[in-house]
Structure 1
């Protein structure tokens, strides 16, 4: 078998509405490259008709490969599953919602070959299609994570990127769970370039990243790449100790000079303040202890139930609902 030049990894979760639009735009771009390619569509345990739609398109598009996870594992885990199974000399990761334009893939490849780099990041130079809340929170996220972790991740670069085989192999060897790829890849330090594009509105369907998932991603990013929160807890402790010493000295002096003022308000404020700081520090410590606990368990982050490369296509769409196990112990 001739080597594959490009693999496109597309994580999918309940994206039946947007899949036809994605195929209509992605396939012409890849066909026009004039190089061998494959599209690894990772169905992240969808509960709608995504599996059936993928099955239909795979009969008409030989380069479309379906990888179906047993259960919803999350966006980052689905991308990792696609990277693990990719075979191309170059690998692109792109979401299915068409907010990141497939046409930019050619620019990424040209930039990688011209500048001889291993990674090309897709950078959102125009985010006017996003809400003001989304733009401001995203900007704050990148500033915060970049400042406390010391990573050189490009701002406004999500999970739309091109990676060389060496980069993908390096990512696949990392043992950590709950990885955040938009920070993992920059920390590898491989030569990189950037390609700007305008972020479009979602073509169809609804966003799979509500506020709760965005907060979880932020916590995973901070605790996975920086010791700053632990140091912050230490400084809180030192600051609290200093304040306690000052209050003790004030209380002793007031007692000596006979200038004590009875009352419970100040006592309540001090106790509540110190209690809040203690709980905050315990929460920060708990996040790190939890990550260590999960890592020590070494549980697989995802389970693959079906891979069309390793088994013939199902005889009908219903077969995809309960695929035969092929490799159940994959982990990122």
Structure 2
């Protein structure tokens, strides 16, 4: 039997947390009773600077049953950093760690399959959505488009996989070697290597509360993932610059020939169109370059990705 920890990042999840704890405890007891995991296995909830009663609920769960462990970050650091804090803490106690969200959208009934795959020698098990029937057309179109764009840009990601995965202690040790501040774990984990497989599951509707990833945050997360793992946008800028340069030469020749032949006519529309087009390309290019420079700036400061304020955990259950 292996010791398995479940790590759940939480931000303002007071509405869903009691039900999440209840269902995960049922899964935990089932796996212990069938000798799939040890009684020392834990359910660890990471409070990412919540403004509601999330941490008090986690503390109460721990006091009532120390199968529940809690990590309280000093301030809100974002989902990826909160998840990393849980993974790096759990790797000191567990043989493998399963990460999942608190909203019960991830099908917890496949956790047993994750454990079986781990026992069969896989260091990383990816939870992959079998379909996106519960998503709106816009969400489905943008999400699948994101994964396809990432592939085109040369980023190694698992299609339709978020952060529902199992990682062995060895894989977590490999993850700890990645020191970047701008975290995009979906892109980092495949770079670790080691044997991996997938488990398909159906994603459910959110049990309660509101999504913590509105459109603006999703777009920011997607752009962060692209710029963290691919320099192709920079190469695209170069190619656009070369194309515009040749077009400008052609337009210059056209203007000179028209002048020589006496056909020069003041073209207000073409002039304004050209100014806006070139200006737009320049601003877009500066924005993309600025994003990369900003990442270099963030990485160079080497600030801590998270600070743990409080840890609730007893090794012996």
- Does 2:102 match 1:96? yes
Q: For the residues of structure 1 that align with 2:56 and 2:43, how far apart are their CA atoms?
A: 17
1:231-242 equivalences under 5 Å are 231-242=235-246
- Does 2:51 match 1:51? no
- Does 2:151 match 1:146? yes
- Does 2:199 match 1:195? yes
Aligned to 2:161: 157
Unaligned runs of 5+ in 2: none
Structure 1 length normalisation: TM-score? 0.89
- Does 2:118 match 1:112? yes
Q: For the residues of structure 2 that align with 1:145 and 1:102, how far apart are their CA atoms?
A: 28
Aligned to 1:16: 14
Cα deviations by residue, 1:41-71 (Å, 9 ceiling, x for unpaired): 1000011111111111112221211100111
Q: Find 2:64's aligned residue among 60, 67, 71.
A: 60
- Does 2:38 match 1:33? no
- Does 2:130 match 1:125? yes
Q: For the residues of structure 1 that align with 2:65 and 2:220, how far apart are their CA atoms?
A: 36
Q: 8 Å contact 1:68–1:307 — kept in the other structure?
A: yes
- Does 2:141 match 1:136? yes
Structure 2 length normalisation: TM-score? 0.93
Cα deviations by residue, 1:188-244 (Å, 9 ceiling, x for unpaired): 222211111110000111100111110111111100110110001111111110111
- Does 2:312 match 1:308? yes
Q: Measure how far apart 1:156 and its partner are.
A: 0.7
Q: 8 Å contact 1:44–1:78 — kept in the other structure?
A: yes
Q: For the residues of structure 1 that align with 2:207 and 2:220, how far apart are their CA atoms?
A: 25
Q: For the residues of structure 1 that align with 2:139 and 2:185, how far apart are their CA atoms?
A: 20
Q: 8 Å contact 2:4–2:95 — kept in the other structure?
A: yes
Q: For the residues of structure 2 that align with 1:295 and 1:4, how far apart are their CA atoms?
A: 36
- Does 2:253 match 1:249? yes
Cα deviations by residue, 1:255-292 (Å, 9 ceiling, x for unpaired): 11111111322111111111111111111110111100
Q: 8 Å contact 1:66–1:307 — kept in the other structure?
A: yes
Aligned residues: 306
Aligned to 1:216: 220
Q: For the residues of structure 1 that align with 2:64 and 2:107, how far apart are their CA atoms?
A: 22
Q: 8 Å contact 2:66–2:313 — kept in the other structure?
A: no
1:257-276 equivalences under 5 Å are 257-276=261-280
Aligned to 1:172: 176
Q: For the residues of structure 2 that align with 1:97 and 1:14, how far apart are their CA atoms?
A: 11
Q: For the residues of structure 2 that align with 1:53 and 1:131, how far apart are their CA atoms?
A: 32
Unaligned runs of 5+ in 1: 311-332
Q: 8 Å contact 1:18–1:204 — kept in the other structure?
A: yes
